[in-house]
Structures are given as C-alpha cells and as structure tokens.
Amino acid sequence: MPLLASGAHGVMLPAYRSCVLPQGAPNARLVLYTGASHAFLLQRIEEFAGGVGRLSAT
C-alpha cells in the first residue's frame, strides 16, 4: 500500500493538492500532519516513523 504523506500547512504543496494524489494510486493512504509544513519529516519525525512502522507491519 503506497503511503503519501505531507504537512497540512505546506506552502510548496498545499493540503488540498495532496488530497488529489491518492486518486491516482490504488489503495494509497494519505496522511496529513497538522501543524507541519513541507518539512513535516523534520517537524513530525516520530509520528511519521511510527506511521511507516505500522504500515509496514500490515
């Protein structure tokens, strides 16, 4: 299952555009990190790592 992740407050890729991405990827999961921007990997690293771990366990 593809994981699509983005910050909910991104300037480079606004959240509304992120919502379109999973439409082209069957079974994709979109996760928007609130309070985070384009650099969500640095801002929410523990949440992201946990999400990847849960996804890979399924």
Q: Can you spell out the DSSP letters for 1-58?
A: --EEEEETT-SSS-HHHHTTGGGGSTT-EEEEETT--TTHHHHSHHHHHHHHHHHHH-
Q: Quote the pLDDT of residue 21.
A: 79
Q: Quote the pLDDT of residue 45.
A: 86
pLDDT in tens, 12-32: 878 888 888 788 888 888 888
pTM assigned to the model: 0.71
